[in-house]
Amino acid sequence: MSLALSAASGIALMGVVFFAAWIFARKVDNYSLVDAVWAFGIGTTVWYWFAMSGWHPKQWVAVGLATLWSVRLGWHLQKRIRSHHPTEDARYVRLREVWQGRVAPAFFWFFQAQAVSVVVLALPFLFVFRDPDASWGAWETAGLTLSLVGIVGEGLADSQMSAFKKRIRRSDAVCQSGLWYYSRHPNYFFEAVIWIGFYVYACGSEWGWLTVHAPAMIVYLLLKVTGIPPTEAAAVIRKGDAYLRYQKTTSAFIPWPPRRGIQHESP
pLDDT digits (tens, 9 = 90+) for 68-116: 999 999 999 999 999 999 999 988 999 999 999 999 999 999 999 999 9
**Mean pLDDT for the chain?**
94
Euclidean distance between CA atoms 48 and 27, whole angstroms = 28
Return all residues near 166 (Cβ < 8 A) that are at least 6 apart: none
pLDDT at 266: 45
Task: Verify that 110 and 141 share a domain, yes or no.
Answer: no
Please tell me whether residues 112 and 148 are part of one structural domain.
no
Give residue 198's domain range.
Answer: 137-267
pLDDT value, residue 170:
84
| Residue among 146, 98, 99, 111 nearest 31 (CA) | 111
Task: For residues 189 and 220, state if they share a domain.
Answer: yes
Q: Are residues 88 and 148 in the same domain?
A: no
Task: Give me the number of domains the chain comprises.
Answer: 2
Among the three residues 112, 132, 152, which one is the final residue of a domain in this structure?
132
- pLDDT tens-digit readout, 212-250: 999 999 999 999 999 999 999 999 999 999 999 999 999
- Contact yes or no for 50/63 (Cβ under 8 A): yes
* 14 and 99 inside one domain: yes
Whether the model clears a pTM of 0.95, i.e. scores above it, the answer is: no
What pLDDT, on the 0 to 100 scale, is given for residue 26?
A: 97
Phi, psi of 78 (to 5 degrees): -65, -35
> Of 132, 161, 180, at which residue does a domain stop?
132
Do 164 and 80 lie in one domain? The reply is no
Q: Which of 86, 111, 132 is the last residue of a domain?
A: 132
Regarding whether 36 and 84 lie in a shared domain, the answer is yes
Q: Are residues 148 and 266 in the same domain?
A: yes
Query: Pick from 48, 224, 34: which is nearest to 122 by CA?
Result: 48
Res 242: pLDDT: 94
